[in-house]
Amino acid sequence: MLLKNKNAVIYGAGGSLGGAMARAFAKEGANVFVSGRNMAPLEIVVKDILASGGKAEAAVVDALNEKAVNDYVDAITSKAGSVDISYNAIGVEAVQGIPLYEMKVEDFMDTLKIGMTSQLITSCAAAKHMIKNGSGVILFLSATPGGIAYPATGGFGVLCNALEGFSRNLAAELGPKGVRVVGMRSAGSPDSAVFKNAVQDRPAIMEPRLKEMVDDTMLKRLPLMREITNVAVFLASDLASGMTGTTANITCGTTMD
């Protein structure tokens, strides 16, 4: 097991990708602490993990509340002894489909504010404890706009760039302390709830858009959630002990560094 006895904290674990990440970490032996703003979806994730012989606990935590996050990580450390992996999967609403020059300032800034505030809070909470132990991995997930310019992506495209830049700078600061920071860049996963719901709600818009996304990849398909979680498990494990300050490309060839 690649993550045996590691303590992994996942925010936004009630979502489809966050839940998939929790299940993947638990399968590889991690003790998983899942959190989100609603308990019901978290309980489903925990139930699945326990039924498979894994270890998981759920808690209601607002990843935009600095005190709540710090108290949560402090409690986990006091109970489990360490926080070895931290991953923030909270969803960010973004106004897209219109040019930047036509966007309302608040619509553009809300995406950046929510996304970066949450990542800063959760990353710093984990980093403080990881520094004490001299080890740990903080994972980030961005999307294709982090590597190539796409029109009409609003604040989301800029957020992807901000996440990748933040992860590199954080890696430079934490590296001498023994802590790794690694990003992942993915295209949208067709088996995720976000994409399934979008296709169901707006088929006339989403179906041609998905075709464009597929056609824009080298593999002529989009990455599935299991492919993203497989990479995350590897990056969080000792097999990737020499990797930090970089972003793994899981876009099926949409972007090239």
pLDDT at 255 over 80: no
What is the distance, to the nearest Å, from the Cα of residue 252 to the centroid of all Cα atoms in its chain? Answer: 18
Instruction: Name 88's Cβ contacts closer than 8 Å, sequence gap at least 6.
Output: 10, 11, 12, 63, 118, 119, 122, 123, 140
**d(C-alpha 216, C-alpha 214), whole Å:** 5
**d(C-alpha 135, C-alpha 154), whole Å:** 36
pLDDT at 165 over 90: yes
Paired tokens of 233:
């498990």
**d(C-alpha 56, C-alpha 49), whole Å:** 7
Paired tokens of 169:
């700078």
Asked if 3 and 237 count as a contact pair (C-beta separation under 8 A), the reply is: yes
What is the distance, to the nearest Å, from the Cα of residue 76 to the centroid of all Cα atoms in its chain? Answer: 20
| pLDDT confidence band for 257 (50 / 70 / 90) | low
| pLDDT confidence band for 221 (50 / 70 / 90) | very high
pLDDT given at position 105: 96
- The three-state secondary structure class of 177 is helix
Q: What is the mean pLDDT of residues 27-53?
A: 98
pLDDT tens string 168-180: 999 999 999 999 9
pLDDT at 80 over 70: yes
User: Higher pLDDT residue, 92 or 121?
Assistant: 121
Query: Domains in the chain, please, with CATH?
Result: 7-187+224-247 (3.40.50.720), 190-222 (no CATH)
Instruction: Name 190's Cβ contacts closer than 8 Å, sequence gap at least 6.
Output: 196, 210, 222, 224
pLDDT given at position 256: 63
Give backbone dihedrals phi and psi of 122, rounded to 5 degrees, phi first. Answer: -70, -35
Q: Where are the alpha helices (DSSP H) in 81-176?
A: 105-133, 154-174
pLDDT given at position 34: 98
pLDDT at 205 over 70: yes
Q: What is the mean pLDDT of residues 30-56?
A: 98
Tell me which residue has tokens 């139930």. Answer: 47
Q: What is the mean pLDDT of residues 223-249?
A: 97
**What's the first-to-final CA gap in the chain, in angstroms?**
31
Residue type, 57: E
Q: How high is the mean pLDDT of the chain?
A: 94
pLDDT given at position 67: 98
Q: Is the dihedral of CA 82, 180, 115, 94 positive or negative?
A: negative
Asked if 154 and 96 count as a contact pair (C-beta separation under 8 A), the reply is: yes
pLDDT given at position 200: 85
